[in-house]
Amino acid sequence: MQTVDKAMRLLGYFSAAMPEFGLSELARRARFDKAGTRRLLVALTKHGFIEQDPHTRRYRLGAAFLGFAHIREATRPLASIVQSRLEAMVAETGETAHASLLSGDQMTTLCIVEPRRPTRVSVDPAVGLPLHATASGLACLAFAPQAWLREYSSRALLRRYTARTCVSTRRLRAMLVEIRTRGYSLADRSFDDEVVSIAAPVFDAERRAFAAISVASIASRFDRTAERRIAGAVLSAAAEITETSGGALHPALAAALAGRRA
């Protein structure tokens, strides 16, 4: 199982922003020794999950994922479910809505819907979203298994993006407790100086947070009224997508929804 976990960690580092890695670079990122990293990559290549460029010798994701993605989308059409819900959220909040998937130590954007207004938040799908600095990442961190969270805390580099970015593991743990209590995360200008975001997690059948639904607002028009409106929309959307995609709602999120409806 440790070997499987390590292989999954390696795969999690590949993203649209970082589609290829050299052996040394990937081993350094994962904090594995080069020999062990190479053995894992050879095994993943054998089964089509990794391929190596014959000229540059760099590694990238293999074609095996395409078949699994097709099966998943055919049986559990997550992208189409999410797209329609994001459109409804934009109509309700007037702000940018997006969905992202947990991928290693970052979030990878799945869908984006922007409002038709001159000033709005734009999300670059090629940029991975750091877990500690974005609402989407914080939402998934807050509902992650404690063992995984401890491992993440021990290896993660809490990079500062703005003056408001949380770079303290102690403060981060306190933030995650608060998020679990209220059911949603709020990132107040912690990744971008002009953006405030609210997110809620989407759960699989084992109640593991694997994705997040978020609304991003221009900071100058965000206030407590906007927070209540956006938080309600995000919580409802995350719960709906969880249930529609065959997941099981986490008790904390269910309690947060029940409290808002009471």
Q: Where are the beta strands (DSSP E) in the chain?
A: 20-21, 50-52, 59-61, 96-103, 106-113, 129-130, 185-188, 195-203, 209-218
Contact yes or no for 206/248 (Cβ under 8 A): yes
The residue among 127, 124, 122 whose CA lies nearest residue 15 is 127
> How confident is the prediction for the chain on average, in pLDDT?
90
Q: How many CA atoms lie within 13 A of 160 on its CB side?
A: 5
* Separation CA 196–CA 193 (nearest Å): 8
The pLDDT confidence band at residue 18, using thresholds 50, 70 and 90, is: confident
Write down the pLDDT at residue 118: 92
Region 65-82 average pLDDT = 73
The residue among 190, 199, 217, 223 whose CA lies nearest residue 135 is 199
* Separation CA 162–CA 55 (nearest Å): 39
The residue among 106, 127, 126, 93 whose CA lies nearest residue 216 is 93
Judged against a pLDDT cut of 60, whether residue 1 lies above it is answered with no
End-to-end CA distance of the chain: 44
- Which single residue is written with the structure tokens 């269910």? 254
The residue among 106, 170, 163, 104 whose CA lies nearest residue 132 is 106
All structural domains of the chain with their residue ranges: 2-66, 76-261
Judged against a pLDDT cut of 80, whether residue 193 lies above it is answered with yes
Judged against a pLDDT cut of 80, whether residue 149 lies above it is answered with yes
Write down the pLDDT at residue 255: 84
* Separation CA 166–CA 172 (nearest Å): 6
Kindly indicate whether the domain formed by 76-261 is annotated with CATH number 3.30.450.40: yes
Q: What is the pTM of this model?
A: 0.76
Q: Give the residue, 142 or 12, on which the prediction is more confident.
A: 142
Q: In this predicted model, what pLDDT tens digit does every residue of 200-232 receive, in sequence order?
A: 999 988 898 999 999 999 999 999 999 999 999
Q: Give the residue, 213 or 1, on which the prediction is more confident.
A: 213
- Tokens for 150, please give them: 């401890």
Q: Give the residue, 28 or 16, on which the prediction is more confident.
A: 28
Cα angle for residues 87, 113, 60 (degrees, 5° grid): 130
Domain 2-66, CATH number (from 1.10.1040.10, 1.20.1420.30, 3.40.50.970, 1.10.10.10): 1.10.10.10
* Amino acid residing at 7: A
Q: In this predicted model, what pLDDT tens digit does every residue of 34-60 receive, in sequence order?
A: 999 999 999 999 999 999 998 999 999
Region 148-173 average pLDDT = 89
- Tokens for 194, please give them: 């002009």
Write down the pLDDT at residue 75: 65
| Other CB atoms within 10 Å distance of the CB of residue 161 | 16
- Tokens for 9, please give them: 């960690």
Q: Give the residue, 103 or 189, on which the prediction is more confident.
A: 189
Kindly state the percentage of the chain with pLDDT values over 70. 95
